[in-house]
Structure 1
Amino acid sequence: MYRIAIVDDDAEQCAGLHDMLRDLIPAELDCEIGMYASLGELDGRQVDIVFADICLGDGENGIEEVLQMFADRSAVQVIYVTGHVEYCSAVYDTRHIGFLVKPVRRQELADAFHRALGRLRDLREQPFAVRFNNTSYVVRPAQVMYVESKLRVAVFHGENNSAVRTYMKLSDVAERLPSRFHRCHSSYLVNFDFVDAITKSDFVLTDGTHVPISHRRWPGSNDAFERYMVNPDE
């Protein structure tokens, strides 16, 4: 899932951008769009892409807020949206991937949105480090067949019975991995790249492993796998 935040103190502008974005998102892409009047409302929220107005209510400056909130969150893709072209240089004090001038044109919005998605996909493909029992291990997403959650421990299962463990919630693990990883059970994520078959109760992987699918999650898991087979790069 990709979590998108639109921040604009003008409710009409916010809703208009929301509707344009919703039209641009393909059906197979799992996205959640939230609308906010202030960047401060994002404090503590998990977000992947932020469309931020620069001149917000009560004198709030979007550039300064982005600098404070996302300086150490390089994975967050920031796209500025403003009616003030004079800020086109000031935004370079912050990490961002787009600068859109109101009224926003559909094609420019689409271009910025797809750049952000591409960057997120690239980041989620990168190896990352986890710790367990005072040792650091490298997790390489392309080599992970499935992830299992056991008593607050996430186990990354690879080929040839290899496994890496760390203390992490499964929901947090999902945020670190590419979209081809699907949560099919409260305790499992499966990498569609390694799926050979799907039944009413589990995914059958290339090495014969059966990853369970909960009854509640089966319809969504089946739909997600069918979409993946049509568009594996999404």
Structure 2
Amino acid sequence: MYRIAIVDDDAGQCAGLHDMLRELIPAELDCGIDMYASLGELDGQQVDIVFADICLADGENAIEEVMQLFSDRPAVQVIYVTGHVEYCSAVYDTRHIGFLVKPVRRQELADAFHRALNRLCDLREQPFAVRFNNTSYVVRPAQVMYVESKLRVAVFHCENNGTVRTYMKLSDVAERLPSRFHRCHSSYLVNFDFVNAITKNDFVLTDGTHVPISHLRPHRYHAPLSAVRHNQ
């Protein structure tokens, strides 16, 4: 799941951007959109993409706030939105992936949004390290078939019967993995690249493993079926 934050002290502008983004989100992609009046409200919040108006209430400057909030969170994709084109140079003091001028045009919004999604996808494809019992292990998302949560331990089930364990909530694991991983159960994430079939109660993986489904929502799982493997 990707978490999107829209930050604008103008409720009408915020709602308009929200509606346009809703139309742009692919049907198979699980995205949550939250609206805020200031960047300070994002402190400590999990977020993947931020659409930030530069000039906010009480003299708040989003450029300065972004530098403070996300300097140690390089995965957060920042897209500035402003009615003041004079800031087009100042924003380069911060890491960002887009600069949109109000009134925002749908195509320009779509281009910036898809750049952010592609960047996030690339980042989440990268191997990452986890620790378990004083040992570090590398998780390679492309090799993970599904993830199972047992008590407080996340178990990554990989190809060729390999497993990697770490102490991590399943919700936090989901934030580290590409969008093709879907949470189909309170204790399971499944990688659609390894799904052969979907029944009423479970996913059947390429190695014959059955991963349970506890809250199947057909509209979410219909689109990725084109990518489901069929080994005849």
- Return the structure number with greater relative CO, CA threshold 8 A, min gap 6: 2
Taking the aligned partners of 2:22 and 2:222, their CA distance within structure 1 comes to 22
**Residues 27 and 219 of structure 2 are in contact (CA less than 8 Å); yes or no, is this contact kept in structure 1?**
no
Partner of 1:180: 180
TM-score by length of 2: 0.94
Render the CA deviation track for 1:200-230: whole Å, top value 9, x for unaligned: 221111111111112xx12x2x443321023
Taking the aligned partners of 1:205 and 1:23, their CA distance within structure 2 comes to 32
Partner of 1:52: 52
Partner of 1:225: 221
Partner of 1:151: 151
TM-score by length of 1: 0.94
Instruction: Please report how far the alpha carbon of residue 44 of structure 1 lies from its aligned counterpart in structure 2 after TM superposition.
Output: 1.6
- The count of residues paired between Structure 1 and Structure 2 equals 228
- Paired letter, 2:199: T
Partner of 1:23: 23
Render the CA deviation track for 1:145-185: whole Å, top value 9, x for unaligned: 01011110000001221100000000000111111111111
- Paired letter, 2:127: P
- Paired letter, 1:228: P
**Residues 192 and 225 of structure 1 are in contact (CA less than 8 Å); yes or no, is this contact kept in structure 2?**
no
- In structure 2, relative to structure 1, the CA distance for the partners of 1:176 and 1:57 (3 Å cut) is same
Taking the aligned partners of 1:149 and 1:159, their CA distance within structure 2 comes to 18
Identity of aligned residues (%): 86
**Residues 149 and 170 of structure 1 are in contact (CA less than 8 Å); yes or no, is this contact kept in structure 2?**
yes
Counterparts of residues 87-166 of structure 1 (less than 5 Å): 87-166=87-166
RMSD: 1.3
Structure 1, unaligned runs of 5 or more: none
**Residues 52 and 79 of structure 2 are in contact (CA less than 8 Å); yes or no, is this contact kept in structure 1?**
yes
Taking the aligned partners of 1:223 and 1:231, their CA distance within structure 2 comes to 15
SS at match of 1:165: strand
Render the CA deviation track for 1:96-118: whole Å, top value 9, x for unaligned: 00011111111111110110011
Taking the aligned partners of 2:227 and 2:145, their CA distance within structure 1 comes to 19
Structure 2, unaligned runs of 5 or more: none
Taking the aligned partners of 1:34 and 1:78, their CA distance within structure 2 comes to 15
- Following TM superposition, the consecutive aligned residue runs of length 4 or more in structure 1 with deviations greater than 6 angstroms are none
Instruction: Tell me whether 1:75 sits opposite 2:75 in the alignment.
Output: yes
- In structure 2, relative to structure 1, the CA distance for the partners of 1:169 and 1:17 (3 Å cut) is same
